[in-house]
Amino acid sequence: MNILGYATYLIGGLILGTGVILVFFKGRGIIDVEKRKKEAQLLMEKVQTEAGEIIENIKKQTEKYTKNLEEWTKNREERLKKIEASIENKEKNLFKKEERINEARLKIAAQKEETQKFQEMAKLAKEKILENLARKVNKSPAEIRASILERNERELEMENQEKLKSKEETLKEDAPKIAKNILIYTLQRLGAPTSVETKTVTINVPKDFIKGKVVGKDAANIEEIETQFPDVAIVFNDLPNTISIAYYNLVTRRIAQKTIEKLVNARGEIDKNVIAKVKKEAEKEVGEELYSIGGGFLHDLGKAIDQDPNVQDAHDRLTKEIMEKYGFSWEEVHAAWTHHDAEPQKTPEALIVKAADAASAGRPGARQESLFSYIERIKALENIATSYEGVQKVFTMSAGRELRVFVDPSKIEDKNLEGAARKIAGEIEENVGYPGKIKVNIIRKIEATQITNVK
């Protein structure tokens, strides 16, 4: 039953109830019938009017609800239709994709089968070629394969050896330059001019309490230090944050200086054992310094006697003989005489002496080649290059370190340039003495000229 039916029953019930009440009161003579009748009539009219308004409102709401329900139903139907259409499209696309995948699978299978056929044909052709080759050279296919592999391995090994040799030569050439730069930078940063060797050195102490740590409880460490260095004057209370060391012997003073520096930087407690251990370490380090200093001072000692025409040996070997004769240690002799690579350097001191010698030789004016020998070397380089057929002009660049060779393009082709450069470089290596390396550049220049006609 709808809302309009409920409203009709409600209004009818009100009218019936009103009539029953009127009859009841009228029969008992309680009310004035006519008056009440009029009032009832007015009430009935009012009730009917209100009932009509209620019915009208309910009707409007019902129509609105019905309309909204119809619109919602319509929208849902349209949405369902769209979903159905989308599902149909997806099904169609999926079907098409499956068809394409199946086609691709068939193509792949066909290509794979064709590839296998080609591989089998190539394998058969390869075997046939190997059989024909084996028949011609009287070798089995296995022997031919082994021969080819061996040849390739040999060529690769030779190529690698050449590359390694070239790299090693480059590193050997660059190493003295790098070491020289390091030494020059160090000398510029740390070197200080002096005319008098002072007998006193000072050690900076970051904080004064470290002095107390070195001195020890009840100055116990002072006694041990004085025992280790009996004649060295070590002053702790001269200046703040400073320890002074004075002694005439440079080596002993240097050992004492290194010992105190190590004690200042030591961690933990300092006792007699620590002091003795640190002194041994300092003695070892100073000994290594003396090896390098001695080797540096004496590395060209042989030049003092190699001017004698009766002496035929090189100056570095003469240095070795003199130092061995007068009882220098192996380390000192090795550092002094190996700076010209007479034998490989085996100690850090020997490498330092070699680098220092290169730095010294690189100073402007340190070593000058005579003008005559320089001109002779340049002429020798140019004569070697001009002796080859097709060479037009030769120029020596960078003080003889580069040779530029211009060739006749009608006589020498591009493919022969590398071989010609290799031949010239090889002859220079055999017949000309030179320092470092010489770069040979061959230039083949072709010009084309065309003149336009005047209109």
Residue 160 lies in a domain: no
Q: Please identify, among 254, 277, 296, the residue that sits at the C-terminal boundary of a domain.
A: 296
316 & 401 share domain: no
What does the DSSP 8-state code read for residue 454?
A: P
User: Which of 275, 296, 317 corresponds to the end of one domain?
Assistant: 296
Whole-number mean pLDDT of the chain?
78
Average confidence (pLDDT) over 6-31: 59
pLDDT tens digit string along 181-199?
787 777 777 655 554 456 7
CA distances from 346 to 29, 124, 185, 212, 237 (A): 150, 61, 25, 43, 45
* 396 and 353 in a common domain: no
In a domain, 435, yes or no: yes
* 356 and 423 fall within a common domain: no
Is pLDDT at 367 greater than 60 in this prediction?
A: no
**Separation between Cα atoms, residue 455 and residue 109, nearest integer Å:** 69
Q: Do residues 214 and 260 make contact, with C-beta atoms less than 8 angstroms apart?
A: yes
Domain stop point among 312, 337, 361: 361
Span 112-126, pLDDT tens digits: 888 888 888 888 888
- pLDDT > 90: what percent of the chain? 3
Distance separating alpha carbons of residues 385 and 368, to the nearest angstrom: 26
Are 176 and 351 spatial neighbours (Cβ–Cβ below 8 Å)?
no
Total structural domains within the chain: 4
Q: Mean per-residue pLDDT for 157-178?
A: 82
Amino acid letter, residue 286? V
- Mean pLDDT for the stretch of residues 299-321: 64
**Domain span holding position 436:** 371-444
Do 275 and 234 sit in the same domain of this protein?
Answer: yes
Same domain (yes/no): 9, 92: yes
337 and 291 both lie in a single domain: no
- Those residues whose C-beta lies under 8 Å from the C-beta of residue 266, and which sit 6 or more positions away, are 274, 278
In a domain, 185, yes or no: no
Mean pLDDT of 427-448: 80
Gap between the Cα atoms of 43 and 45, Å rounded: 5
Q: How confident is the model at residue 394 (pLDDT cuts 50, 70, 90)?
A: very high
Least confident of 296-300, 374-378, 419-423: 296-300
